[in-house]
Amino acid sequence: MTILLDGNSLTLEQVEAVARRGEHVILAPAARERVRAARATVEGLLAAERPVYGVTTGFGKLSDVRIPPEQAEALQRNLLRSHAFGVGPPLAEDAVRASLLLRANVLAKGYSGVRPEVVDLLLECLNRRVHPVVPEQGSVGASGDLAPLAHLALVLIGEGEAVVEGHRAAGAAALARVGLAPLTLQAKEGLALVNGTCVSAGIGALALRDADALATVADITGAMAVEALLCSVRAFDERIQALRPFPGQVRSAANLRRLLENSPIVESHRDCPKIQDNYSVRCIPQVHGATRDALAYVRQVLTTELNAATDNPLVFPETGEVLAGGNFHGQPVGLALDLLAIATAELGAIAERRVDHLVNPLLSGLPPFLTPEPGLNSGYMLGQVTAAALASENKHLASPASVDSIPTSGGKEDHVSMSAYAARKAATVVANARRILTIEYLCAAQGLDLLRPLMPAAGTGRAHALLRERVPMLREDRPPGPDLEAAEDMIRTGRLRAAVEEAVGPLY
């Protein structure tokens, strides 16, 4: 598949396809013409020697310093060098690829004033898998993600470092290894490469894709726990949801009904004396559903941001104007990604409670810690401990980054968004929640084994059977690492959802 980048129609699905599956990207012809028109406007302003921020002036607090035209190239080069002040471990490859794609998409809109060659080289780095080494710390999300984007852009001029064909090399050597040559940036181009929220939004887009997938996985593992704990399905009745019709709640309840339809286990205790189940089971639609609705808002924000002009100043070829503004400010993204972290943390928090019920014989009615021979074996005792550790970690990570602000750039940037940190936190919360759901998957499957000869429903039974293809029932203690890895791989790759949908049809 080749993706045509036009600056206006990039989707979250395409971001993931490029970032993680290496889909090919080219600049759309219409976008190329818009880019050329904006560049012609910049060159006209240069010829007229008009003062334009970042073109004929310094940056930030130094915007009052005039730069003569003969120093334009040095100004752009020095901008990248000075702003590449990031620290910490490098961003993951998929995050770097998402950032490259989003920066190219911003420039493809035709409001940044760069030459088409700049967009082309960004896309060639993607297509030939030249991945700049970008330290993850250093952005406050104010004039966008200045430090990480400067590291990313340095490679385009043959500086900085990049990973290519598994080797870390200097920028020029990395480009040469795949037959590319560095650029000499012209007026405005260095500034256009570093202004904007592309790192925040890129990391956030991938985290959102993962969180969306987890919302359905949580319904699957939750349904398995419903059966293993001999709980009621009455709370998932469609009539109850209709009286509080939040879209996410309605969808989660529909998933649970489909997953548990005609369950022999549920039928076996239909007339039991228990009136109501614990909240972590009875309120699955309400909690999982609230997460779904929050993720829908995040999806709306990020879809807008993917195709937004977040550069500054912006070039308007129709009128010949260059307007300075604040579209680079990461506040919309930071707020949304803080919500992503909060919402996804709740998926993990409620799943941890179900894990605790599964391993606790006072609550489950199952053997202690889900082992057939407790005492000699500890079973899944530490599964719940690890889930608790991850859930507690997520509580701290879910504290919002976007409410914090430290003035920067000599007070010129006196309110910042911390969107990049919000993005990194959200991605970590999503990874932690996936591991908690992995533990629930293992424990719930073990609980279903311990209820035999009673059999689960078609949907939950397929989830159980898939796990047992690689993870046998835990009859005596063994190191859990390989089991966790296999189960998490089924969740992360989408195999779990796909297998269940083969049995019961599409899930929300």
Phi, then psi, of 237 in degrees rounded to 5: -55, 135
Pairing of strands 2-5, 24-27: parallel
Angle, helices 458-468 vs 198-228, to 10°: value is 110
**Residue 453 preceded by cis peptide, ω within 30:** yes
Establish whether the linkage from the previous residue to 367 is cis, with ω within 30° of 0.
Answer: no
The CA-atom distances, in angstroms, between 341 and each of 334, 365, 494 are 11, 34, 21
The sign one gets for the Cα dihedral 197, 201, 203, 204 is: positive
Active site residues: 53
Local structure of residue 63 (DSSP, 8 states) = T
Tell me which residue has tokens 């082309």: 120
Listed residue (136, 365, 108) closest to 230, CA to CA: 365
- DSSP string across 187-255: TTHHHHHHSBSHHHHHHHHHHHHHHHHHHHHHHHHHHHHHHHTT--SGGG-HHHHHTS--HHHHHHHHH
